[in-house]
Amino acid sequence: MNLCREVAERLLAYRDGELEETEEPFIKEHLQYCPSCLDLLNGYDEVCDVLHRLQPVNMPSGVLERCRERLRREAAGEPPLHDHGDSCSAE
């Protein structure tokens, strides 16, 4: 596996302080000499900063429940219910 690809797959965990203690020095060292991975990390920082500044949005009544039911049915291998007003549609 390409070293940068391996680092890129772990950057969000690194950014969020969720890496194993043994992984962090490896990522930190790589970022010191790899501008591409450092740019990717900085991009993640920018996106996360923007997302944290967004205001919460109130969902219409029942959307969360319908999404949870849809996910439950998918996980159980059950066919989806036909719902013309489905606010949790992947289509």
Q: What is the residue-level pLDDT of the chain in tens, covering all 91 positions?
A: 489 999 999 999 999 999 998 999 999 999 999 999 999 999 999 999 999 999 888 888 888 888 899 999 999 988 877 655 545 554 4
Domain membership flag for residue 46: yes
SS3 content of the chain, % helix, strand, coil (to 5): 60, 0, 40
- C-beta of residue 41 within 8 angstroms of C-beta of residue 14: yes
Domain membership flag for residue 76: no
pTM as predicted: 0.60
Residue 7 is part of which domain span? 3-53
CA angle (50 as vertex; 55, 44 as ends), nearest 5: 140
Environment class of 13 (CB within 10 Å of its CB; exposed 0-12, middle 13-18, buried 19+): middle
Count of domains forming the chain: 1
